[in-house]
Amino acid sequence: MILIIGLGNPGDKFKNTRHNIGFMTLDFFAKKNDFPDFELSKKYGSLVSEKNNIILAKPQTFMNESGKAVKKLKSKNTDLVVIHDDIDLSLGKIKIVENRGSAGHKGVESIIKNIGNKGLVRFRVGVQPPRGKPSNPENFVVKNLTSEEQDTINKTIKKTSDALVFLIENGLEKTMSKYNAP
């Protein structure tokens, strides 16, 4: 069983923000791979879609409390993949990591606090603007994407979705080798 978590914030206010890259990626992945519509699971505090031993989940706890939902969703025999925005990576870049710290990302921090990071695979999706890391990252990540940024992010979401399929079919090492290129 594979559990793929997309991090974001619920509600229309956050729909097209950098912080919702995880949600956007799961929506694209689910549609492209014919998953059923997401349904709210009160038990898991998440929007969930399931097909062929793969569970897609979008926690509805808000970013900083994501770990609470992930803890309810994760079972002992489940491989976990988390997709999230990363202000330390340039817009459009993806980096796949395993067993790493949060690097200050509050949603990832919450997950690590609740379940640890052993076996935690993360797809870090870059949202840093060309001029470098903003002085107030917390405000920056909850602002809407510009139309130019949206074009880049759409390509990145497709690439991330392709990398998820590749991961499912080929495993972590081959996926990291293929998609972590500079």
* The total number of structural domains that make up the chain: 1
Confidence at residue 181, expressed as pLDDT on a 0 to 100 scale? 65
- State pLDDT tens for residues 30-54: 999 999 999 999 999 999 999 999 9
| 8 A C-beta contact, residue 70 and residue 17 | no
- State pLDDT tens for residues 89-137: 999 999 999 999 888 899 999 999 999 999 999 999 999 888 877 788 8
Considering Cα of 175, then 127, then 25, then 155, what sign does the dihedral take? negative
Average pLDDT, the chain: 93
Q: Which two tokens stand for residue 141?
A: 């990540």
Q: Is 84 known to be catalytic? A: no
* 154 phi and psi angles, rounded to 5 deg: -60, -40
* Beta strands per DSSP E along 91-161: 94-98, 120-128
Domain residue limits at 82 = 2-179
- State pLDDT tens for residues 76-102: 778 999 999 999 999 999 999 999 988
Confidence at residue 131, expressed as pLDDT on a 0 to 100 scale? 81
Provide the whole-model pTM: 0.94
Burial, 96: exposed, middle or buried (Cβ in 10 Å; 0-12, 13-18, 19+)? buried
Overall average pLDDT of the 16-21 stretch? 92
Catalytic residue among 3, 4, 14, 19: 19
Q: What is the CATH number of the domain that holds 15?
A: 3.40.50.1470
